[in-house]
Structure 1
């Protein structure tokens, strides 16, 4: 058809003839004269439209074409091509194709092979263009034939381009014919074109054809019939069967092919695409390990496959390749941020698998460096914010630090703000942000976080296609958020609908967690509607909830979520048992389910613990006291895991709330069973937990081959930062092992390396510490208690329902042979809490709950007098009466000495001041006994043992007294009276060492304590309720923290007199943990501590200190009698100011011996 058009101009449009004539004038200048001659010979004036005759023009043009040379035809065809390019009119290609064919024939007749080759190449191009518009296979076939004929004649440098063109055309024809010969020849053409190029030109040429090669290979891969072609060529690229193609070129081809397969996997989710991508990219990296893109993509592929299948080998390869990519790349390279991000993602996944905190720390550092890299483009930052936010979220899930979760939320918020509208990652980032907000609400209960979470998750779901595998988990998170926010049936039902959709679309594993969520939603719905509709209607939801809970547990692979699922199912079963009662077996099934959950570890461990606690409480209710005791023993075994020694101090204090919420139940059950020793042991295990853990690093190490090394290791551990976190036992051992390496001899022990020896030493030390974390109170240890010690417990339940609110207070006296129990029938926990509330509000009204000294007003409060009277009548006096003749004056006439060890709300009440204070007299504990306090029985035993050692036994000798006064502490209120206070002390003991004002630096004080056994602090004190080791005395240069004192392991210290405010004030949130400076000084090694419960007046402080030290001097400086000295000094103050001014004399207390 093209030939006819070219030979018969009449078949062309009349207007095209004129346009063509006019365009001839645009030919190059060397042909300009010839064009003008041709135009002059026309029988009409081309510039005169009035004389234009289209038929004459057409005949004349046809005649002139026949007289054109092959070169003229070649050049004239170019004019037609320009017309096509300008107008897009396919008709313009037809004359060009005819002219090129004629030109080819003309050149052939002339014997001009170069001209033929050039005409054929242009002809192939025109035929290809026409094929792309008409899809006529004849044009494609003709184009291929033209290319091949041209190639046979081509010996120039363009020959490689001819092969590349043939390869592309054959690839196109394969898509229509599916003839494997076309595919094979296509790939051979590409490879052949590269192979004939000089080595220095191959890389540039490859940039133009590498995607074409990948496309042809992908077509072979996608067809099951042509996969052998793919495998053959892929192996050829990997093995180098074509020696003309270098390994560098082949590596690049494999890199592009692997990336293409990875993209296809991400689009369609076919795992075979991912597997082949891994193989192909691995081959690329093996051929050339310096190609950063190949290494990075290979690592990403392995990471994705690990996340799909969980194969550890894939993860290790991912980390190794990403790390190598970072090492290979110049840090100033613009690709560096992307490579860092890939490494960070791999490290995050390895942390999830192995739980090594070092991986997560490195991941966070890596993501941070990537985000803040100078080469990172601003428009790409949102991806890096998302990665860093995800890493923070992961660290929160492991360590449960709220600060990490807040950092995650902030980073993800920035990621959202920087994400372009419609970006393919928008839904993913929204879902990640919404999940973090939901978790933040669960921890902080911030309503704004929940509202934002729902809004963000709704948008994420709306942007997620129905068939996207990410839709079910996003629906799950949205449903959970709605459940948190909804108290109405409508919201619950919306959440149920989302979960049911998620279950129906979930195709990638067990649906246990979805069924668990649905079960929870249905239980919520039942609880809302049960009072509004009939029991029969509402009960269907509860029945279904229980069925789904069972299925969730059955379908769950044994893992960290099992305890959570078991607890929720048990709650549903017990709810049905209580509300409906038609299924008596529900309670027994709940018992069985709770027991199952208690036997499996969870993350966090508190979920396992709550299961165990629920099981113990229900077991006592169902099977009686002895069965309950056995179950509670298992609960106590979990305490070290709940309050894990590897966690930071502040988290451990937060975790103690789980222990304290059941302690009275367990101890009360032991008392009801008549086992007071067990009750005492459990009470000790549940109080001062953190102090007990810290003390384990301070215990003497038993003799043995590792004794000296163990002592050094535990000493170093003791000196570590209290904020450090080691949530994995393995990590704790690793840290201890590293410390061990620094203290063991350089010589290798027999049969093992120093590293192996250090590892065994660390494991042994850890086992020793853990096994002694909660020492049992044996008969021999109880007999060491030299005087009555009153352990005042919280409410003991009266019934098997374990309801503490119905119980009475109980005292246990661990003295002499067997513990003795004393029931305080007239005193309940409710009454104790009410008294504490009144007491604290009264102190706050009087402004004595501050850290500042200087309070001097005379304070009498009727409410406090009433509290002291109730304490005397209902607590202290009944205890004194229970002792009877056993509580009497000592042989030297001194009053008996009682040590109070209060629990729960009683820790805030001044038992040492209990009494009936009337205008006409009255009686009080002050008249019957000397009072001391101890935070725990173990602390008292430790102080007694310390006192009995030869090193600390210096009775009847003048103490080495260090006095520290701070009249002008930087950034604190002035305390000029502290100088007068120490001057009074100096008048009593002239040989004391005095560090005053600027002399009182932390180093000077610490060095002073090392050489003195008595210490007097007259300064400001500061309590840190979150981390008691940060509680401190305010000195000249900085604060002397309790942690600094405890690092020293003092063995000679006898007495610490803390003439500062509130040094013995407990934390209302942690009544069992003795979170105050005075307890800390006991734990640091001081046998006796004088402290204050609230603000003390300057004159009162000096008065009491003077009488205290005078009495101590008169008694021979025996620190064991310091409680009597304080009793005497406070008695003198009472005589001076009047007993009714309670707020002035009550705050002075003694702790210890």
Structure 2
């Protein structure tokens, strides 16, 4: 799906003419030497001032001729001002006054004395300042209608231009154009000086438009020069140099003349043609011929016609052949010809053209001194050529050189240079290309960083915007493929749509844009359960079909368009009518065309073969035609043979072939096919490079095949898969993306644990179960893990880890609830997500490097690694911890007992065959609850809707299949205890949604779990290993109630609930109550920091697509889980969440415990009382009253008795409402210690 596109920087629009105007004035004015003037002055018996002026002129002439240092030039300037002061009186004389005529003659002599040194001092700023000041003041001496005025204006205009060459000041250039234009306006059309003056003014306009390419300025420049040329032609004068400048102006305007750029290019070509026709026998002919070739080059970029680019190459080659080795234009002509070859290569794919481009660009660079302004341009173009050759041939050295030259070019480019955006854009393409090959994510981040800057600059410059947006969109599309983040794909589509809309159908790049947009639409359709609408795949096919139609048969990307179109047809086939062959047949046809058009040496051919093999495999899977499977195997084998070693897609290729062999095995039961499948899966895992997700999938499938076919090595393969999964769910992902990856591997850990249990590897099974639970919470806990042991050995490293971990923790929690708003323009920088992602990745790279450094310290080899089984087994402190694992193949209980490392294993009946789990799987929404807010008065949130008999059957199944076997294994059924034991349940997989604490056979006496044990739940074992704060240090509790919330049902009993809590708080217990307008999110956050316990009586809302955005509804605000965990709490006790569904997990993520209750546990509370669905509003005060009556006694707060207190409170509620009123008492649960 590589849809890269290149856009090179625009060359300077003209070359310096070989007949450049001399730095001498165009002619000497009619002055006379000082001695002759002296004689005339004496004869005329003029006043003494005349003698003083002549004396000063003599001295000044000598001074100027000898001046070289700044001080000498400044001194000469003072003398010039003195002479002008002496001549000032002649302004009062009449035009016919002899005295004025003599004064003007003296002024002209002074002018000649200055300009006689312009060749020697013309690159000296101080001297040019002197001459400009003199000329500006001298013009005021000239009488109206003076015959030499045009010469004075011309020389002053030229001097300003000379000074602009050094200062690059816009004011100097404007002044130059002003005086040159006035000089030209005063010059008769038949004056032989007209040609040089037109030429000089053309140069000035050229400089102006090159540096400040505004449409109005260019248009005015074109009109002025066109008028001048028109007058000159009427006088039968030929001015090829001015025709050349005019062509250059049209060429430059074409870049910003939206909608009419082709007209300007054609005009440029017309004027360049006229210039060459009038100068074939002159020394300037190579200049005009070269520029004519450039106009054909740009015309090709706009129309894509082969004859234009061929003419461009021929013209520029001929111009280069006529260029002398010492010509100052040689480097620029070499560079321009290299660009033209590069364009032809990018369009038609002849590697010979790319080699020519590199050769010419290298020659140009070798001729450019370090200080030349063009060096950055030459470096960038050379880098672009190496980049294009890498994309074609895949040679590592080429992309290394490409990035080296392109980054050098950027470093040499001024921030206000109009070509900077193109250089950034192209460097971004190189970084993305290197990522496509090797898979290093920092390359992709760098690509996006460069191309984001390029897009903003392109909008300011006003040219090539569609190309820049297209490339930026492609980079976001690639990052979506790597990280599966929704905002990346939506942003890519927004950019691509804009690029398509900015580009006319006649533009040769339109097919590239359409194809890439089609790929993005197809990707969004593939994720339709999370993102897209069902018409996305139809749009994809529409766009990609048009891309194929617009592309010529010789288009270098045609095979890409065909293969991507094939992929879209494959995707639609998979989601369409399974009995219809039309889409899969079309997919195979287009894929075959793509393969047939691509030579074996093309680095993309393996991709097209892979797509073809997958299409054949899809058709075989449905229609079972053996020849399709044979073709799939052949295509995948060829793809592997053509893919370069180390390519990040190599793992995918091995896996595709392995799956095809697996199909063959399932069809024929041929053991050799199974051997091949396992072998290629191992190769997929072991090969260099590759997406971690592909490696994980290959290792998992390999482990599954080994296990199901009773072959050795399954446990080792599962461990390899888990190691790769760590890199799939890495810290570099934002939380919502991590949840997506977890969803993709939802039952993997249960599968792995089942295999380990089968092999009696109970500690290993415990490790794997723990690794598969609450992955996001565990990552956050890791970032807050103490580093005290390391600090005693290496305090500096420990402090660095803590600092980076804190920053990373804040970054994760900040970005979690900041999704892209698709309704906002995609180029708005308001979106925090796009600024946060690169920072987040940089922090992760730094954190990973520091952790690896710590692991090299003796004794810290397992620093921050997942805990091993024996260590996890010690989490049972005051009672048993029971882990329930459930997989299609088996169900088991692993029991951890205090002070024991060994694990007690209890096999359980397969719940997947029992009504309890069937009820959950097939009818969960209707049987357990509805996800709509219940509007019936008296409920807080979601109401239980199961039919009583169905629910009772489910609870009986849980008793018979889980609770009873576990109680028997613990000996709790046979003995009667005064104090009930406390069991902490850790439930995995889909069972985690079921109310185990209510398990029981309600048709028989006493056969209920609550009669034999107090039950708690726990999201992960690591939480139980945290040091537990003593309860006696707690003395402050905050109770927050919100009776009325906008858009939510009234909760009239919240005041009664809070009053009941207050009634139990006696000194020294401090009680804070927040209600109504005082119960804001800010106030709640502050109270959580200050108080030891918290009670929340309000509405709450889970967030299925982003659990971190789950929230409590408070006064005119929400308190999100993200905000709570962003500021970790220390040594807290109880969090009582008397709100709806605060412990309701999300169905797609059963192992994550991604709800408010677990979030409070992670935030720093050790005990949480919560609800798994809606509760009766009037029940809340009763339960709270009974709980706090147990936990607060004699001024002492004891959170460690929370589980027992809730057990007794719900027992009293059961007695009041009836045992089978499950909706009333079952929702209340305890989590934690």
Same fold (TM over 0.5): yes
Which whole-Å CA distance do the structure 2 matches of 1:359 and 1:304 have between them?
A: 18
Superposition deviation, residue 250 in structure 1? 6.0
- Structure 2 residue 992 is matched with structure 1 residue 907: yes
Q: Counterpart in 2 of 1:498? A: 590
Alpha-carbon distance, 1:1068 to partner = 0.8
* Structure 2 CA distance for partners of 1:1069 and 1:766, relative to 1, 3 Å: farther
In 1, the alpha carbon distance for the partners of 2:286 and 2:1017 equals 84
Matched, 1:735 2:843: yes
1:874 aligns with 2:961: yes
State the Cα deviation string for residues 832-885 of structure 1 (Å, max 9, x = none). 432325554134369777999745999983332232223223322232223225
Q: Single out whichever of 722-731 and 963-972 deviates more from structure 2.
A: 722-731
Residue in 2 that maps onto 1:716:
807
Q: Which deviates further from its counterpart, 493-502 or 1069-1078? A: 493-502
Residue-by-residue CA offset, 1:906-925 (whole Å, 9 max, x unaligned): 2111111122335x955311
Instruction: Give the aligned partner of residue 1152 of structure 1.
Output: 1232
SS at match of 1:690: helix
Q: Which moved more, 1:873-882 or 1:438-447?
A: 438-447
Q: What does residue range 214-613 of structure 1 map to in structure 2 within 5 Å?
A: 230=320, 233=323, 235-237=325-327, 240=328, 256-266=336-346, 269=350, 270-279=353-362, 282=365, 286=369, 288-289=372-373, 300-301=384-385, 303-305=387-389, 307-308=391-392, 310-322=398-410, 324-325=412-413, 327-329=415-417, 345=429, 348-349=432-433, 355-356=441-442, 357-370=444-457, 372-373=459-460, 376=462, 382-444=466-528, 446-486=533-573, 488-489=580-581, 491-507=583-599, 508-510=601-603, 511-530=605-624, 538-558=625-645, 559-581=647-669, 583-600=670-687, 603-613=690-700
In the TM superposition, what is the alpha-carbon distance from 1:673 to its structure 2 partner? 1.5
Whether 1:673 and 2:759 are equivalent positions in the alignment is yes
User: How far apart in 2 are the matches of 1:1132 and 1:366?
Assistant: 66
Map residues 8-47 of structure 1 onto 2, 5 A cutoff.
none
Partner of 2:1065: 989
Counterpart-to-counterpart distance in 2, 1:662 and 1:272 = 50
Aligned partners of 1:826 and 1:210: how far apart in 2? 81
Alpha-carbon distance, 1:589 to partner = 1.3
Structure-2 residue corresponding to 1:791: 883
Counterpart secondary structure, 2:535: helix
- Residues 590-623 of structure 1, C-alpha deviations (whole Å, 9 max, x = no match): 1111111122366542111111011111122445
The answer to whether 1:782 aligns with 2:874 is yes
Q: Secondary structure at the match of 2:908?
A: strand
State the distance in 2 between where 1:1032 and 1:319 align: 46
In 1, distance between residues paired with 2:1088 and 2:940?
29
2:1138–2:1180 CA contact under 8 A, matched in 1: yes
CA contact (8 A) 2:436 2:648 kept: no
1:834 is aligned, of 914, 918, 923, to: 918
User: Take 2:846 and 2:936, find their aligned partners in 1: how far apart are those partners?
Assistant: 41
CA distance in 1, matches of 2:856, 2:1087: 33
The structure-2 alpha-carbon separation of the partners of 1:157 and 1:209, relative to structure 1 and needing over 3 Å to count, comes to: farther
TM-superposed CA distance for 1:438, in Å, is 2.7
Equivalent residue, structure 1, for 2:729:
643
User: In the alignment, what sits opposite 1:928?
Assistant: 1012
User: Where do 5+ consecutive residues of structure 1 fail to align?
Assistant: 1-113, 116-155, 166-185, 195-204, 241-248, 531-537, 740-757, 796-803
Measured at CA, do residues 921 and 1081 of structure 1 come closer, stay the same or move farther in structure 2, by a change above 3 Å? Answer: same
Look at both structures and tell me which one has the larger radius of gyration over its CA atoms: 1
CA contact (8 A) 1:396 1:402 kept: yes
Distance, in Å, in 2 between the alignment partners of 1:394 and 1:846 is 35
1:953 maps to 2:1045: no
Paired with 1:905 and 1:584, the residues of 2 have a C-alpha distance of 35
User: Could you tell me whether the CA contact under 8 Å between 2:296 and 2:311 is conserved in 1?
Assistant: yes
Shift in CA distance, 672/301, structure 1 to aligned 2, threshold 3 Å:
closer
Structure 2 residue 794 is matched with structure 1 residue 705: yes
The residue aligned with 1:1105 is: 1184
The 2-side partners of 1:368 and 1:227 are apart by 34
Q: Distance in 1 between matches of 2:684 and 2:421?
A: 45
Structure 1 735/219 Cα, relative in aligned 2: closer, same or farther at 3 Å? closer
Q: Residues 503-561 of structure 1, C-alpha deviation per residue, up to 9 Å, x if partnerless? A: 2321342532222222223333333443xxxxxxx433322322332232233222221
- The 3 A distance-change label for structure 1 pair 391 and 855 is closer
Partner of 1:813: 895
- Residues 1033 and 684 of structure 1, relative CA distance in 2, 3 Å threshold: same
The answer to whether the 8 Å contact 1:259/1:297 transfers is yes
TM-score (norm 2): 0.66
Deviation at 1:1123, TM superposition (A): 0.7
CA distance in 2, matches of 1:858, 1:579: 47
Question: How do 1:60-139 residues align onto structure 2 when only pairs under 5 Å count?
Answer: none
Q: What CA distance in whole angstroms lies between the structure 2 residues aligned with 1:871 and 1:208?
A: 90
Could you tell me the TM-score, scaled by structure 1's length? Answer: 0.71
- C-alpha displacement of 1:1072: 0.6
Tell me the CA shift for residue 1017 of structure 1. Answer: 1.6
| Larger relative contact order (Cα-Cα within 8 Å, sequence gap ≥ 6) | 2
Query: How many Å separate the matches in 2 of 1:347 and 1:236?
Result: 37
Size of the aligned set, in residue pairs, is 906
* CA deviation vs aligned residue, 1:377-408 (integer Å, no higher than 9, x gap): 7xx75445433432332332333223322332
- The 2-side partners of 1:341 and 1:455 are apart by 28
CA distance in 1, matches of 2:241, 2:806: 78
Change in 2 beyond 3 A, CA 1:781/1:406:
same
Secondary structure of the corresponding residue to residue 715 of structure 2: helix
In the aligned structure 2, how far is the partner of 1:1067 from the partner of 1:454? Answer: 35
The alpha-carbon deviation at position 713 of structure 1 amounts to 3.3
* Separation of aligned partners in 2, 1:1082 and 1:1019: 19
Where does 1:901-1050 land on structure 2 (aligned, <5 Å)?
901-918=986-1003, 922-942=1006-1026, 946-947=1027-1028, 952-955=1029-1032, 959-969=1035-1045, 972-990=1048-1066, 991-1036=1070-1115, 1038-1050=1117-1129
Aligned to 1:56: none
- Flag the 1:886–1:468 CA change in 2: closer, same or farther, 3 A: same
1:983 counterpart SS class: helix
Q: Which SS does the other structure have where 1:236 is aligned?
A: coil
Pair 349,503 (structure 1): closer, same or farther in 2 beyond 3 Å: closer
RMSD: 4.4
Q: Specify the SS of the correspondent of 1:327.
A: coil
Q: Note the C-alpha offset of 1:1101.
A: 0.7
Matched residue, 1:1124:
1204
Q: What is the CA-CA distance between 1:683 and the residue it aligns to? A: 1.2
For the residues of structure 2 that align with 1:1066 and 1:780, how far apart are their CA atoms? 24
2-structure distance, mates of 1:266, 1:313? 18
Pair 1:213–1:989, CA change in 2 (3 A)? closer
Give 3-state SS (helix, strand or coil) of 1:1135's partner.
Answer: helix
SS of the residue corresponding to residue 1040 of structure 1 reads strand
- How far did residue 1036 of structure 1 move? 3.2
- Aligned partner of 1:119 in structure 2 is none
Contact 1:965 1:996 in 2 (8 A): yes
Question: How many Å separate the matches in 2 of 1:809 and 1:876?
Answer: 13
Counterpart in the other structure of 1:40: none
Q: d(CA) in 2 for partners of 1:350 and 1:1034?
A: 48
| Secondary structure in 1 matching 2:885 | strand
Displacement of 1:979: 2.5
CA contact (8 A) 1:412 1:429 kept: yes
Q: Please give the alpha-carbon distance, in whole angstroms, between the structure 2 residues aligned to 1:359 and 1:392.
A: 12
Instruction: Tell me, in whole angstroms, the C-alpha distance in 2 between the residues paired with 1:738 and 1:553.
Output: 35
Secondary structure of the structure 1 residue equivalent to 2:1015:
strand
Distance (whole Å) between structure 1 residues aligned to residue 242 and residue 964 of structure 2: 108
